[in-house]
Amino acid sequence: MIDIVLGGSSAQVLTIKIGRQLKIPTILPEIKKFPDGEKYIRITEDVNGKTVAIIQSFYHQPDEFLIEYFLIADTLKDLGAKKVIGVIPYFAYARQDERFKPGEAISFKIVTKLIEEVGTDEIYTIDTHLHRVEQLSEIFHIPAHNLTAVPLLAQYVKKNFELNNPVVIGPDEEAEQWAKIAAKELEAEYDILEKERLGPSEVRIKTRELDVTGKDVLIVDDIISTGGTMVEAIKMLKEHGAKSVIAACTHPILVRNALTRIYQAGALAVIGTDTVPSSISFISVAPIIAEALRRG
């Protein structure tokens, strides 16, 4: 059973929500920067003999939030915490899971190793961007759980939009896992988009099987970063007769003008969660994190 939830600077509001769900104390440590940019961390509550969950998301400034996590986790163990559980809603560095060119750092393996070495006993993430690694347990040597927020996204869409004969689309093959989950929630069919190469520089994007003509489409992915994938997918779906297109993701990174470009492409709405706080973070992942921590 979790005794305390502790919020790093990237997830303090989310931490408070989780603490309220679990009805347990919340710690917000003292976090400052020295003039040279170094982080100062001070945990002001007694954690001796306690099981503490650190809530820290690695978005936008992953290096800074990682260092902060390392300082917090090691300090908790040094202060006598019985168990340290890392809850990382958005897990950065998962893309580089093998060496593609000579000399490359395999970032995923390095980051997971460091998380373990600072004293983390168990880890929870949400919709981690896994490629060749199918399960977190393949790379972590501690208990590791990859939760999903996709049912919450689908439930939000179902509640807030009138969908006529909806279909769910994954923008690529990797997104099929999320499209399948969302389709189950909406009791709808799902498909993915495929690229068909027509020539050296010409590519056509199309659905694998489904006809979207006259249908309301929910296109779902784990991350929207630059928005390029979503923009092309929405344009294609509209060109093929989709009545409306709603874009949803777990992690709304939304760099530069991504959100504007997605709406310009024809999206009816764009929806995300608070793994990354943003203007479209309409859904909180606090309930699924709290439930997972409660189950242990």
What pLDDT sits at residue 197? 55
Three-class secondary structure assignment of 91-129: CCCCCCCCCCCCCCCCHHHHHHHHHHHCCCCEEEEECCC
How many other C-beta atoms can be found within 10 angstroms of the C-beta atom of residue 199? 7
What is the number of helices (H) and of strands (E) in the chain? 8, 15
Name the CA radius of gyration of the chain, rounded. Answer: 20
Determine which one of 195, 215, 235, 238 is catalytic. Answer: 195
d(C-alpha 78, C-alpha 58), whole Å: 23
Residue 195: its pLDDT value, please?
Answer: 65
pTM score: 0.93
Amino acid code (one letter) for 149: A
CA torsion angle 279 131 62 82 (round to 10): 110
Residue 206: per-residue pLDDT: 73
What domains can be seen in the chain, in order of their start residue?
4-148+284-295 (3.40.50.2020), 150-274 (3.40.50.2020)
Active site residue 195: yes
Strand partners, 126: 147
**Alpha carbon distances (Å) from 272 to 85, 244, 249, 258:** 25, 18, 5, 13
Cα distance between residue 56 and residue 271, in whole Å: 22
Output the tens digit of pLDDT for each of the chain's 296 residues.
899 999 999 999 999 999 999 999 999 999 999 999 999 999 999 999 999 999 999 999 999 999 999 999 999 999 999 999 999 999 999 888 788 889 999 999 999 999 999 999 999 999 998 777 677 888 899 999 999 999 999 999 999 999 988 999 999 888 899 999 999 999 999 999 886 655 655 546 778 888 899 999 999 999 999 998 899 899 999 999 999 999 999 999 999 899 999 999 999 999 999 999 999 999 999 999 999 999 98
Residue 194 backbone phi and psi in degrees, to 5: -125, 150
Q: What is the DSSP letter of 166?
A: -
pLDDT at 265: 96
